Chain A
Amino acid sequence: MEILLAITIGLLYAAGIFLILRRSMVRLIIGLILLGNGANLLIFLLGRISKGKPPIIPEESKVFLDAYADPIPQALILTAIVISFGLQSYAIILVKRAYRVTKTDDIEELTTTDEI
């Protein structure tokens, strides 16, 4: 399972970076989304994966008896997902708006800001 996740994360990062390096604004956004998802999965993986061991201390004991699934990465991912959801929806609207104003999807043509 770890290997599978690691490969998925690598693919997500690679695809994300590839898309960011394209010239189209839409691909840029999709690339950022993929990168964000890759980062979230990475947190999940690095929190160690364990199946069917909730972090609950049994009633008769005071400490954990067994290795348990770490709840913190899941809380982190939840936060990160919510944040990236907001940011990505903002970015999509921005690209739409910019397309309406500049009439182009090509990042290379956004040169108004580069005038000396």
Chain B
Amino acid sequence: MIAHIVIWPILLPLITAIVLMFFWNNSRIQRVLSTVGHGLTFISSFWLAMRTFNGDILTLTPGNWPAPFGIIFVADALSGMLVLLASLSAFAVCVFSIVSIGKGRAGFGFFPILQLLLMGLNGSFLAGDIFNLYVWFEVIIISSFVLITLGSEKAQLEGAIKYVTMNLLASVIFLTGIAMLYGLLGSLNLADLSIKISESNDHGLINIAAVLLLVGFGIKSAIFPMYFWLPASYHTPPAAVSAIFGGLLTKVGVYAMIRVFSLLFIEDEFIRNMLIILAVCSMIIGALGAIVQQNMRKIFSFLIISHIGFMIGGLGLFTPLAILGMVFYLFHDIVAKTNAFLISGLIFKLRGSFRLENLGGLYNRYPFLSIMFALALFSLVGTPPLSGFWPKLFLLQASFADLNWWLIGGIVAASFLTLIAVVRIWLAAFWKKHPDYEAAKKRIVWYDLPRYQKIILLVPIAILTGASLFMGLNAAYIADVCELVYTQISQPQTYIDAVLTNQSNIP
């Protein structure tokens, strides 16, 4: 049982999803069981993460075939932390959706699909084999397709068409990249590929495979020229769904990029320069998009694009400090973005609109709540001592050390524009007087909710704000984890040894 800890964060959501399907018509039981399932997944991921933070790389070969031949699950510190944060965000979203997801959507399997989405996420964080990674990606996208269309409103369907098309295209391109790698090197295991690539002389073809994978992952993580689907679709589903999408789906693309590029292609100057250029463009264009939007969720969607740029930039620099900053940013961003979308959902409940011009007066009416929201929103900007500050500091230091003026300019400008976007939300939703309160009152569901439901809606935001504060105030601990991630990423040999020599730790 304990030796199989690597696979529990994948198995538990699957088991819960199957159990939930037996209660298809009883959404009340589904809500309770789903929360329990997410809680158990969180506990098992916490356990797994704590074991990886010791510096161990845990492996598990489910079919008991030795590593380069069979599928392998690998948990190093990066995977451990991401599995932990994914389970935390999914738990928060599940608690939020107990109240916010209506009977209509719950009756068509919202909760089981949410579990399957978490299974896909955890699976892709733990996969040690590039084809296995592809399969987990497909598990993620098919569940997200269902979640994004559940409800079939007009905007949802239109957003879904753009989302589905781009994700299917990304899968095909990713698959083409895998085919090329397999054709060139005859292996699919990431560790084995890493060895074979360093021995191979076929740089031209390997770079083509690298660019194909970059485009595939780039579409998924919405970097510069391939981001248009994101702001067209993320604001259409219910807030709980946007929260889990915004928090985690793009980050899976970034994770895959970190994993694949650090193990396979990073020594190549061409790829690194390209990553930096794409990063700067995403930062600036995403942030510029964010400051013109009126819909709160569209602002956050554009901020996702901008903040993905920070991580890609760190990957492009690939100095120790840059990786530290990049990984820290990844951890911070999962929590911050999930929280931001949940807050937009709560503001919708409080004021009946997502649009800035229809909001206002929240600070007068709910001062304490507003301060909690402010903590979450300003951690997106990176106001010290909140969690966004430290990674930005590391990334800036890293770009100064490298004298990479493009990246320095990009980070400063994007942070400033993010500040403008967040201050716009703050002014419009919290400080401004509500434009037409009497008319809006009819749309506000908050007053009709029983007290316990109001508390259930607040709990996940409190949890995530707490996690964000913990990351900011206890940054030394997170930085230690990031440093461990850095040592593991920068010395692929430890990863390779763990995968290829510790054949199996099944007793």
Which residues of A pack against B, CB within 8 Å? Answer: 20, 25, 28, 32, 35-36, 38-40, 42-43, 45-48, 70, 72-73, 76, 79-80, 83-84, 86-87, 90-91, 94-95, 97-98, 101-102, 107, 110-116
The 8 Å CB contact of A101, one of B145, B152, B176, B294, is B152
Given A91-B164, A113-B232, A116-B295, A42 contacting B176 (CB threshold 8 A): yes
Count, chain B residues at interface, CB 8 A:
41
CB within 8 Å of A: which B146-178 residues: 149, 152, 154-155, 157-162, 164-165, 168-169, 171-172, 175-176, 178
- Closest CB of chain B to A55's CB: distance in Å? 13
CB within 8 Å of A: which B218-275 residues: 232-233, 235-236
Minimal Cβ-Cβ distance residue in A for B149: A94
- Closest CB of chain B to A112's CB: distance in Å? 5
Contact (Cβ within 8 A) A95 B179: no
Question: By DSSP majority rule, is chain B's interface helix, strand, loop, or mixed?
Answer: helix
Q: Does B487 contact A (CB under 8 A)?
A: no
Cα distance, A43 to B294, chains bound together (Å): 46
Q: Which segment of B53-61, B180-188, B341-349, B469-477 sits at the interface?
A: B180-188
Residues of A within 8 A of B182 (CB): 43, 46-47, 72-73, 76
Minimal Cβ-Cβ distance residue in A for B182: A46
Cα distance, A43 to B295, chains bound together (Å): 43
- Closest CB of chain A to B206's CB: distance in Å? 14
- Closest CB of chain B to A95's CB: distance in Å? 7
12 more A-B residue pairs beyond the given contacts A42-B176, A94-B164, A113-B236, with a C-beta to C-beta distance below 8 A: A43-B182, A70-B186, A76-B131, A79-B135, A86-B142, A87-B171, A90-B164, A94-B149, A94-B157, A115-B295, A116-B292, A116-B298
Residues of B within 8 A of A42 (CB): 176, 179-180
Residues of B within 8 A of A95 (CB): 161
Cα distance, A97 to B151, chains bound together (Å): 12
Contact (Cβ within 8 A) A43 B154: no
Given A36-B172, A47-B183, A113-B236, A83 contacting B161 (CB threshold 8 A): no
